[in-house]
Amino acid sequence: NVKAGDRVEVTAADGKLTFHVAEPTPSEAAPAS
């Protein structure tokens, strides 16, 4: 889950949008469904 204020990098690969969170995320927030 991406929260407001988190720096996210958007990369377009194979027509797919991949969101990479630059900031370290807690293990609890690891499962992003």
The answer to the question of residue 15 being in a domain is yes
Contact between 7 and 21 under an 8 Å Cβ cutoff? The reply is yes
Question: What tens digit of pLDDT does each residue of 17-30 get?
Answer: 666 666 665 666 66
Q: Which of 6, 27, 8, 28 is nearest to 18 (CA)?
A: 8
Q: Domain range holding 8? A: 1-25
**Total domains, the chain:** 1
Q: What is the mean pLDDT of residues 5-12?
A: 67
The answer to the question of residue 31 being in a domain is no
pLDDT at residue 14, as a whole number? 74
Q: How far apart are CA 19 and CA 21, in angstroms?
A: 6
The answer to the question of residue 32 being in a domain is no
The answer to the question of residue 10 being in a domain is yes
The answer to the question of residue 18 being in a domain is yes
Q: How far apart are CA 16 and CA 6, in angstroms?
A: 21
Q: What is the mean pLDDT of residues 5-23?
A: 67
Average pLDDT, the chain: 65
The answer to the question of residue 12 being in a domain is yes
The yes-or-no verdict on residue 16 having pLDDT over 60 is yes
Residues in the chain: 33
Contact between 28 and 3 under an 8 Å Cβ cutoff? The reply is no
The yes-or-no verdict on residue 33 having pLDDT over 60 is no
The answer to the question of residue 33 being in a domain is no
